[in-house]
Amino acid sequence: MAQKRVPRDRISYTSLIRSQSKSANWRRALQLINEMTSANVNIQPDAMCYSTAISVCASAGRWQESLALLSRLNKVDKVDAVAYNSVLQACAVSGEWRAALKLISHMRQQQHQQNQEEEQKQHQPEQQQQQHQQQHQQHQPEQQKHHPRSQQQPQNKQTQRKPLVDGYSYASVISACDRAGQWAEIWPLLELMQADG
């Protein structure tokens, strides 16, 4: 009986990459990512593929490889907190405090930009609702314009994304500084963590 051939698609590759986690086989994970983009396969890795490979490299303490994958991910999709924190953890294990400080600074900038985008999206429905109410009132009799039940309250059902920077992020950077003996860098981080809430 002929064996069923496993299709070469994004899902299969992601599963293969994930299977390298237990043994922390980061070389094989990178090989699979590069194989996907080769001329023979020509499959563009998505955010899940890259995040999974980053996690494998991070579990092996390969911070440089994790950071390189993060850069590649950033070119095809937005980087989430899981991918960022995986790289920070790799930096913590290796004591790479400079890379960790640089990365968390970038994360805080991205977080600020994300907050601004969400605030703008939150105000857009409110403005549209107000314009709709004004147009609706213009076509209503005068006695209905001031009726309480005719006023519709704007609803905000926007769901906020998970913050990029959290306590786990700061703990990883602090661990990297502590491992490298850079204790002077820890107090400013604690102040930033307290300011971010």
Contacts 24+ apart (CB under 8 A), 109-112: 110/79, 110/164, 111/163, 111/164, 111/165
What pTM, to 2 d.p., does this model score? 0.77
Distance CA 101, CA 132 (A): 47
What's residue 1's pLDDT?
42
Exposed, middle or buried, 195 (CB in 10 Å: 0-12/13-18/19+)?
Answer: exposed
Distance CA 189, CA 39 (A): 45
Q: Which of 69-73, 118-122, 131-135, 174-178 has the lowest mean pLDDT?
A: 131-135
Segment 76-86, tens digit of pLDDT: 998 999 999 99
DSSP assignment of 89-123 equals: HHHHHHT-HHHHHHHHHHHHHHHHHHHHHHHHHHH
Instruction: Determine the average pLDDT of the residues in 183-187.
Output: 96
Scan for tokens 């593929």, then name that residue: 49
Segment 37-61, tens digit of pLDDT: 998 899 999 999 999 999 999 999 9
